[in-house]
A and B are shown apart, each in its own frame.
Chain A
Amino acid sequence: MSVLELSARRLLDEMAAGRLTAVEVTQAYLDQIGRHDRDVGAFLRVDAEGAIAKASDVDERRRAGRPVGRLGGVPVAVKDILASRGELVTCASRTLEHFRAPYDATVIAKLKAADAVLIGRTNLDEFAMGGSTENSALQTTRNPWDLSRIPGGSSGGSAAAVAARMAPLAIGTDTGGSIREPAGLCGVTGMKPTYGVVSRFGLVAFASSLDQVGPLATSAEDAALLLEAIAGHDRADSTSVDAPVPPYSEWIGQPLEDLTLGLVREHFGPGLDAEVERAVREAVRVYESLGAKVKEVSLPHSKYCVATYYIIAPCEASSNLARYDGAHYGHRTDEKAMLAERDAERRHLESSGETAAVDELDTALVRMYRRSRSEGFGAEVKRRIMLGTYALSAGYYDAYYLKALKVRRLIRRDFDKAFDDVDLIAGPTTAAPAFKIGEKVDDPLAMYLVDLYTVSANLAGIGGISIPCGFTAAGLPIGLQLQAPPLEEDRLLRAAHMFQQATDWHTRRPPL
């Protein structure tokens, strides 16, 4: 059996038994990247040298009988939005294209401590804003199942890397569905934990109250392994949950007894692709065959989720991205050109006698800000900064931001009520399979609706997981989303594992 077909769990067992070395494993994945990433474009940077060095170090320690971390020798791909000391973290943005972080994100520090082999950095929508990875300023990533289609986003690089078996495990981040949606569209397992389960320290912020780091893998069992390594309370993140990390990977084999699944009435309305609906309903029947009961539940405010999300997330983004002003780090405009431009404008105004307009000219500082930001950010990022700036402005705050916060509480209450009756909520991850690259770039609203089923978990702060549950006739993966009450990651993972024990969708590989 090829290394690429083994789960991370198996790889660890094989390496522990001495039947495989970390270098062999790492090399196999580097070779796979070499074979396919030219087509897929999942990675922004591959650190072959560093990966092999780390793998050799792990092998050496294993041979010497010295302690090795829980992910010792397993390659992990990381979305390029987490800080790693001395290394680039671009967020797929021109503004941070050359930015090196002077510190480690908590997640990165934990992965290093777990002896994971950090094999490379994956592509994303600029600053994680998007659902197709088309908003990357640096590169196009393609869906391994159909290279003419998007991989989903914003963690599209991570999902595509796992789908193409260019990494057994990957780290993504999810603000409105950015792990689950690409996982669904690429046919892999991806989980957004409850807000606060994984530290955000070192995650370059998009929308602070919604952002959460999570695992992508080929199975729930492997996702559990990765989550275990990155979860846990962090004093450097005030919003981090102060609770011990359950041994997810140990418990994952225990099936859930008396499981009741909730199907959300509002999730099966118009707009849901027929093939997706069929696959999801079939998945629910699989659970029934495993002894689960199914109940219909209602999330009455779900129709406001996308609107609420597109107020709160841009508001926070407009503030979080204010620091990219060219003064301290990130892209700064060419100052000579900027000053020359300003002088030319001044001369023109003076010669045409418009002295009042001369006084209205930007100061050099303001013009530096303006030009640096105009050049550094892409269209979608600018759109969201403008939305957020507008919504937070005097006179609009109450009508938009404050109202959105109120609706957000109602959305959470809907979930709390639903979870009084059911253990998990099941439904489609996305309304449709992966669309063609370029298909929606001119229609931001259609693009925003991609998050329809996923944003609610971020707004409510609960956990969700997407697992493969079938394919369309055209061979595109379909994702099943499970959602659980806060801090029930264990329940999510066990339920996903039950399904994966009974089905083999997650073992399918794209025809690369």
Chain B
Amino acid sequence: MSEPYAIVIGLEVHVQLLTASKLFCGCSTKFGAPPNTQTCPICTGMPGTLPVMNRRAFELALQAAVALDCQIAPFTKWDRKQYYYPDLPKGYQISQYDLPFSHGGHLTISDAKGRFEAKQVGIIRVHLEEDAGKSVHDEQAGEADSRIDLNRAGTPLLEIVSQPDMRSPAEAKAYLDELKLLLVYLGVSDCNMQEGSLRVDANVNLHIAGAGGEKIATPIVEVKNMNSFRAVERALAYEADRQFEVWRETGRKLGDVPKQTRGWDDAADITRGQRHKEESSDYRYFPDPDLVPVTVSAKQVEEVRAALGELPAALRRRLETTYGITPYDSDVLVNQGQELVTYYVELAEASGDGKMAANWVQQDVLRTLNEQGASIGAFPIRPPQLAELLQKVRAGEVDTTRGREVFAAMLASGRSAAEAMRALGIEQVDESQLVELCRQLVAANPKLVADVKAGKLQAAGAFIGQAKKLNANVNPNRVREICLELIAKG
């Protein structure tokens, strides 16, 4: 590490669970509805209403925690976290305090590009809670006006708190990528940051080596308002620099000042100190008497575990060992989601070449999907058709460059590989014809021949270009081989 310090990062992630209805009432959780149209007496906290636990939310929460290798508490309860804010209609948030339903898990992160060693990031706890509403501050004509949208109030959130185990912004980013991937694979959340279904707060400080080799910890800062994983990376890098500067100027250590909260300003590329909260942070937690505790048996946990299916880490390993692809390739494929992996696996099986399948999926299929903004489910070339093309490329019936033309034609016309090749006039050139053509080229290019003989093997490339002009269907590799043979024979 070039910096004279270690960055210590812990992340607190909130994800919205993919339930049809809210945590304690039947209102829809769909994003984007007009303000306050997805509300009822319960989630607006009307006097006399009572919460009733959404079973599905708890099931999803359980799946996530089990997938994170957390211990599942046999007994868990719901607590009220009390504070005043206009988007919190009951004056308290139903959350979990001292007995969260799970704790003590971990998530393994690695970097396909090898920027850091694979490591386990500890998970302190995962708990379930309800979201608050949204305050919309409208400042027009100098008169500040705030409006409250309670559509989001009562939406089920999973809070996932990591250990301060990450040591670089890249590790933090990798943790978020891997966590998001896991939750999306599980179907627990769509983790859409734009719609607020994934939110990240970071706790960060530095461990600086002192003059006598002792470890000096700087005050922990909580960073908020980061609205993309890239922003998290940038905010953490900024914050590390800033804390180091502050330490050099002030020498302030952990414990010297109260914990500070800073907001990331994406446009300015800096963090800014936030105003202290009005009230102190005594939330006066106590068990919510309106809800009954939940008990979870070991058998239930095992059932959840058995039903989890293959998780991203295991899937990557399987792709690498079964199809011989690199960790980088498996990472790209798995990151694209379950559907693309299924497509890839079918293609690898049908074409009989996992590596080639990986290349084509990453380069051609993904590029097309990106260009068209389409999903793999609707991609018109299905794995058996693409496999046919791959086999032809592998058999030398068509070279890779022309293969791409075939791919484009298949895409445009919906034809099979064979039909597309025929339409493009691609046919295999007879070997004797090819030899004859090469003989002419060798005879007509004494300078190139001399170059090759002098050891400039790359000069043979020029034969390919000339051959292609004479017959577009020639196999460039064969042309090269034959020409070299002819020259060698002299």
A209 to B50, CA, bound (A): 12
A323 touches B50 (CB 8 A): no
8 Å CB contacts to A: which residues of B36-82?
41, 44-53, 80, 82
User: Which of chain B's residues have a CB closer than 8 A to the CB of A237?
Assistant: 50, 52
User: Which of chain A's residues have a CB closer than 8 A to the CB of B44?
Assistant: 328
8 Å CB contacts to B: which residues of A60-89?
82-83, 89
What's the least CB distance linking A364 to chain B, in Å?
A: 9
Q: Which residue of B lies closest to A362 (CB)?
A: B278
A91 to B47, CA, bound (A): 10
Binds A, one of B89-97, B298-306, B472-480: B89-97
Q: Residues of B within 8 Å of A, CB-based: how many?
A: 29
B92 touches A319 (CB 8 A): yes
**Max chain A C-beta neighbours (<10 A), residue from B47, B84, B290:** B47
Q: Residues of A within 8 Å of B, CB-based: how many?
A: 47
Q: Which residue of A lies closest to B292 (CB)?
A: A238
A365 to B282, CA, bound (A): 19
Given known contacts A323-B91, A366-B278, A369-B84, is B48 in contact with A101 (CB within 8 Å)? yes
A105 to B47, CA, bound (A): 10
B48 touches A203 (CB 8 A): yes
Q: Which residue of B lies closest to A366 (CB)?
A: B278
Given known contacts A325-B84, A369-B84, is B286 in contact with A315 (CB within 8 Å)? yes
Q: A419 in the interface, Cβ–Cβ < 8 Å?
A: no
User: Which of chain A's residues have a CB closer than 8 A to the CB of B278?
Assistant: 362-363, 365-366
B53 touches A101 (CB 8 A): no
Q: Which residue of A lies closest to B89 (CB)?
A: A328
Binds B, one of A17-25, A302-310, A388-396, A484-492: A388-396
8 Å CB contacts to B: which residues of A358-384?
362-363, 365-366, 369
User: Which of chain A's residues have a CB closer than 8 A to the CB of B45?
Assistant: 323, 328
A322 touches B91 (CB 8 A): yes
B89 touches A238 (CB 8 A): no
A102 touches B48 (CB 8 A): no
A202 touches B48 (CB 8 A): yes
Q: B86 in the interface, Cβ–Cβ < 8 Å?
A: yes
Q: A201 in the interface, Cβ–Cβ < 8 Å?
A: yes
A322 touches B82 (CB 8 A): yes
A255 to B82, CA, bound (A): 50
A102 touches B92 (CB 8 A): no
Indicate which residue in B47, B86, B284, B290 contacts A239 across the interface (CB closer than 8 Å). B290
Given known contacts A319-B80, A322-B84, A397-B286, is B50 in contact with A236 (CB within 8 Å)? yes
Q: B377 in the interface, Cβ–Cβ < 8 Å?
A: no
A105 to B49, CA, bound (A): 8
User: Which of chain A's residues have a CB closer than 8 A to the CB of B50?
Assistant: 200-201, 236-238
Q: A251 in the interface, Cβ–Cβ < 8 Å?
A: no
A397 to B285, CA, bound (A): 9
Q: Which residue of A lies closest to B91 (CB)?
A: A322
Given known contacts A327-B86, A393-B282, is B291 in contact with A238 (CB within 8 Å)? yes
User: Which of chain A's residues have a CB closer than 8 A to the CB of B291?
Assistant: 238
Given known contacts A236-B52, A392-B284, is B92 in contact with A96 (CB within 8 Å)? no
User: Which of chain B's residues have a CB closer than 8 A to the CB of A200?
Assistant: 50
**Max chain A C-beta neighbours (<10 A), residue from B82, B91, B278:** B91
Q: Which residue of A lies closest to B87 (CB)?
A: A327
What's the least CB distance linking B385 to chain A, in Å?
A: 52
B91 touches A239 (CB 8 A): no
User: Which of chain A's residues have a CB closer than 8 A to the CB of B148?
Assistant: 327-328
Q: A205 in the interface, Cβ–Cβ < 8 Å?
A: yes
Q: B490 in the interface, Cβ–Cβ < 8 Å?
A: no
User: Which of chain A's residues have a CB closer than 8 A to the CB of B51?
Assistant: 238
Indicate which residue in B47, B92, B282 contacts A394 across the interface (CB closer than 8 Å). B282
Sample of 5 A–B contacts (CB below 8 Å): A82-B48, A103-B46, A209-B289, A328-B89, A389-B284
Residues of A within 8 A of B (CB): 82-83, 89, 91, 96, 99, 101-103, 105, 200-205, 207-209, 235-239, 315-316, 318-319, 321-325, 327-329, 362-363, 365-366, 369, 389, 392-394, 397, 401
Given A101-B47, A328-B148, list of 12 further CB < 8 A pairs? A103-B46, A201-B49, A204-B48, A205-B48, A207-B289, A209-B289, A235-B52, A238-B290, A238-B292, A319-B82, A392-B284, A394-B284
Residues of B within 8 A of A (CB): 41, 44-53, 80, 82, 84, 86, 89-92, 148, 278, 282, 284-286, 289-292
